[in-house]
Amino acid sequence: MNRIIDIDALEILDSRGFPTVRTTVLLDNGTAGVAMVPSGASTGEREAFELRDNDAARYLGKGVLKAVKNVKQKIAPALKGLEVHKQNYIDQLMIELDGTPQKKNLGANAILSVSLAVAHASANANKTPLFKNLNKDLQNFFLPVPLMNVINGGQHANNNIDFQEFMIVPHGANCFSESIRYGAEVFQKLKSMIEKMGMSSAVGDEGGFAPNLDSNEHALSLILDSIESAGYAPGEDISIALDVASSEFYKDNLYHIDSEGLKLNSEEMCSFLTKLVKNYPIVSIEDGMDQNDWTGWQKLTSSLGNDTQLVGDDLFVTNVEFLQKGINEKSANSILIKVNQIGTLSETLSTIELANANNFEVVVSHRSGETEDNSISDLACSSGATQIKAGSMSRSDRLSKYNRLLVIEHMLGADCSFSGSKIFKK
């Protein structure tokens, strides 16, 4: 039967050195499942609640001992004795135990740590890799195209670039491992180009470079040069994706692009992005418009949506309710999926299902604060996601996700395919 006999949790540190929750679900057959939760910096307003201690005497108030206590003293007693394979039932029980829409009582970090640890424990009890255990009927797995964040700006770096992420998309590769090689080669070329310009090649939170450049376009041209100097054709082999993260610089109904001295209204922001897509091989733009500028999103989608992927991150926060609004109103054509934005695996899977049913592309994503946990790699392969965004080609918290996908590709051999260029309309 594989019943839960104990749940333990502790406070560990994430990739930024801030506390997060690590949880172990122990089963009566002696097996266990472990999960660690990530944490964002440019969080959406409507995300599930991350419970922190706010005790200034510890970790600048960012401790998670309350969340750990909630796992051990509130969630564990409710789950002991339950069959571990009943993921939906267990997640629903935790949602009810919390009783608030944003998981404010127990904390989404507490709940998610248990939800993911349950998934791992179930897979381990079945002696099945997580990606197979999550979707037992699937025969042909698709490995996601990686979106690699090679230049970091915005909230993720101490530089003057407004846009948060400049990503390379090696969609022209014929398999996942080749796409990783393409990306890693471009990353190294970019590094030497930045150093030749006399700038620092130190990296930001997601392992991408964080040079001080005079404009967002400068970052784009630098990436184009690095793609070419690595011997690849921009747009054919490797394209560019942006996470504008515009909610971070939307103030008083205007988009403040400080590095270029611009203050744009919604219409002008839409034209600004449309021009960038015309001039550069950009296949995907995430959060081009603010999380509350729903009409701006509609404008952007009618202007670019036919041939460019427009990804809602802060807009949808992995929540079926907001995704449904976006589907109804034709805002965006793709969704970013972050497990801790919603707080349980089952709810994450429901959101992915709704996206798949409405032809929205699914991009499974890490957070800027990460750990060595790589559950999202298995999630991407099992759920029909066509892409994964897990940071740059440096730092083990990022590479653990890509390395896990290399292992999955190796395990599956001929039983997996790579989505590649087919998914991008442009």
> Where on the chain is the footprint of Zn ion (CB under 5 A)?
243, 286, 313
State which of residues 40, 63, 305, 420 lies at the interface with ligand PGA (CB under 6 A).
40
User: Per DSSP, which regions of 249-349 are E strands?
Assistant: 250-251, 254-257, 262-264, 282-286, 309-312, 334-337
Of residues 203 and 230, the one with the C-beta less far from ligand PGA? 203
**Residue tagged 């729903």 (tokens):** 294
* Nearest residue (CB) to ligand PGA, 41 versus 82: 41
Residue-wise DSSP of 20-67: EEEEEEEETTS-EEEEE--B-SS--TTSPP------TTSGGGT--HHH
| Catalytic residue flag (residue 96) | no
Which residues 142-171 are close enough to bind ligand PGA by CB under 6 A?
164
Q: Which of 94, 151, 223, 245 binds ligand PGA (CB under 6 A)?
A: 245
Binding status of residue 319 toward ligand PGA by CB under 6 A: no
Beta carbons of 355 and 362 less than 8 angstroms apart: yes
Binder to ligand PGA among 368, 377, 386, 392 (CB under 6 A)?
A: 368
CB of 140 to ligand PGA, least distance (A): 29
- Of these residues, 62, 103, 338, 389, which one is catalytic? 338
> If you search the block for the tokens 């090679």, which residue do you land on?
150
Does residue number 33 form part of the binding site for ligand PGA (CB under 6 A)? no
Q: Which is the catalytic residue, given 50, 206, 286, 347?
A: 206
* Residue 367 interacts with ligand PGA (CB under 6 A): yes or no: yes
Number of helical (H) and strand (E) elements in the chain, helices listed first: 14, 16
In the complex, the smallest distance separating the C-beta of residue 44 from Zn ion, rounded to whole angstroms, is 8
Of these, 10, 13, 41, 82, which contacts ligand PGA (CB under 6 A)? Answer: 41
Rounded CA gap, 139 and 91, in Å?
26
Place of tokens 């560990």: 12
Is 338 assigned a catalytic role?
yes
Among 15, 20, 42, 133, binds ligand PGA (CB under 6 A): 42
Which helix (H) or strand (E) segment holds residue 4: the answer is: strand 4-13
Within 10 A of 310 (CB to CB), how many other CB atoms are there?
25
- Number of other CB atoms surrounding residue 81 within 10 Å: 11
Residues serving a catalytic function are 206, 338
Binding site for ligand PGA (CB under 6 A): 40-43, 164, 243, 245, 313, 365, 367-368
